[in-house]
A and B are shown apart, each in its own frame.
Chain A
Amino acid sequence: MYAFEIERPTSVADAVSALSADEAQPLGGGQTLIPTLKQRLAMPSKLVSLAGIEEMKYVRRDGDVLVIGGGTTHGRIAREAAEHFPGLAALAGKIGDPAVRNRGTIGGSIANNDPSACYPSAAMACGATIVTNSREIAADDYFQGMFTTALEEGEIVTEVRFPIPEKSAYMKFEQIASRFPLVGVFVAKFSDRVGVGVTGASNDGVFRWTEAEEALAGNFSADALSGVTAPPASDMIADLHGTAEYRAHLIPVMTRRGVAAAA
């Protein structure tokens, strides 16, 4: 790693102020950023660790919305969301491994927007709101392609608000070495709509499979997808773990499984 200073603010306001320094970078749980630093792929002058900000750690229900602080770990979400939103709790409980889940945070994952991260699929399917220290952003506007978001320099994800669906399921086809999804699909059924968020598959990062959403809105069953064409392979990621055609094929497969498993 290159040399840098580290700061540990204990409030959002102090973190924002620390991040105004030149080349300062926020550090969430560090489960992606620390390996990146070790490879010398980033060279911050200062890291601002958000892990000491207690006011960003919570899971609470506000009517039909599950409100999660940006500094909340995957492990805590897996435990505390289970009663209110089992689909999201199950997603959080399958990220990485137990030690990673005790450090990694939802805010860090959403801010990084890895094309294979799990949470973005749930955020898209549910129509979540991403709250930062300065504004609220709809998920559809927030995720803007691989590792690209609407966040400005020095802006922190302080909260994510998920409308709670009637039924949901996350189906992750795991790439077993990294434990990231090769393709992951989050299916969320609301009283008046269905959301289908797809991660791991596309060169453009997470996306909503709107054709499937429309077909499922009228008939929430795996059969409703039989006439729906899979998203084109030309848009999909191809690497040594799977071809673009393979990923494209997995999208309807995992969607069907998600619909069948939704609870």
Chain B
Amino acid sequence: MTEVTMNVNGRKVTRSVRGNELLVEFLREQLRLTGTHVGCDTSQCGACCVHVNGELVKACTMFAAEADGAEVATIEGQANADGSLNVIQQAFQDYHGLQCGFCTPGMVMSAASLLKDNPKPTEEEIRHHLQGNICRCTGYHNIVRAIMAASGQETPAVAAE
């Protein structure tokens, strides 16, 4: 076991982890932050996306020990300080950007990382950025619309709708 300390959603936590403990297992099982989902466990689906030191990563494909000393942000830390939905989450609700909702935490974290670097992405840039996030309800059009809206842009009928 190794002791790790990290800052998760602004809260400093210290725990012992196994060498082979994945970051997603640490978040879900030790910290009980179960908003980060495990869809495929093979790095394909992106439901486990979190931010580590401000960068989007798949928490199923990184060890908890490697996040020692890091700033980690999960879906649980995304709401506004007063508990209301942040602009991306609200846009997902307003534009029906979720159906079953399983992929949504990863989609929101992925969208947040895109808008941080590129505040006004084009539809194509959004689709390219979401390559590693799979929605098995195939609700991509409304996800793209929600991200367009969250970035303060018009949300014209997207292609093939």
Instruction: Assess whether A5 is in contact with B19, with CB atoms less than 8 Å apart.
Output: yes
A98 and B65 contact, CB distance less than 8 A: no
Answer whether residue B71 sits at the interface, using C-beta atoms and an 8 A cutoff.
Answer: no
- Contact A98–B42 (Cβ < 8 Å): no
Specify which chain A residues have a CB less than 8 angstroms from the CB of B155 in the assembled complex: none
Measured CB to CB, the closest approach of chain B to A65, in angstroms, equals: 28
Question: Is B63 part of the contact surface with A, judged by Cβ < 8 Å?
Answer: yes
B66 / chain A contacts, CB cutoff of 8 Å: 6, 8, 30, 49, 51-52
- Most chain B CB within a 10 A radius of its CB, from A1, A31, A37, A98: A98
* B19, A99: Cβ atoms closer than 8 Å: no
- Per the 8 Å Cβ criterion, residues 48-89 of B in contact with A are 49, 55-58, 61-63, 65-66, 68
- Bound form: Cα–Cα A99–B36 in Å: 15
Q: Which residue of B lies closest to A3 (CB)?
A: B20
* Cβ contact within 8 Å between A38 and B41: yes
| Contact between chains at B19 and A4 (CB < 8 Å) | yes
Is B61 within 8 A of A8, CB to CB?
no
Nearest-neighbour CB distance to chain A for B69, whole angstroms, equals 9
User: Which residues in B have some Cβ–Cβ distance to A below 8 Å?
Assistant: 2, 18-20, 22, 41-43, 46, 49, 55-58, 61-63, 65-66, 68, 110, 113-114, 129, 131-133
Note all chain B residues with C-beta closer than 8 A to A31. 43, 61
Distance A99 CA – B20 CA, assembled complex (angstroms): 20
Chain A-chain B contacts (Cβ-Cβ < 8 Å), number: 76
Name 8 A/B residue pairs within 8 A (Cβ), A-sorted: A6-B2, A30-B62, A35-B43, A96-B132, A97-B133, A99-B49, A99-B58, A100-B43
Q: Are B62 and A34 in contact (CB under 8 A)?
A: yes
Q: Sort chain A's interface into a size bin.
A: 20 to 34
- CB proximity of A123 to chain B, nearest CB, Å: 24
A47 near B: Cβ within 8 Å?
yes
Residue A60 lies at the interface, judged by CB distance under 8 Å to chain B: no
Interface assignment of A102: CB less than 8 Å from any CB of chain B: yes
- Which chain A residues (23-45) contact chain B, with CB distance < 8 Å? 27, 30-31, 34-35, 37-38
A residues near B131, Cβ cutoff 8 Å: 97-98, 179
Q: A35-B42, A98-B113, A100-B43 are in contact. Are A30 and B18 (CB under 8 A)?
A: no
| Chain A residues whose C-beta falls within 8 Å of the C-beta of B61 in the assembled complex | 30-31, 34-35, 100, 103
- Bound CA–CA A103/B46 (angstroms): 14
Cβ contacts under 8 Å, B46 to chain A: 97, 99
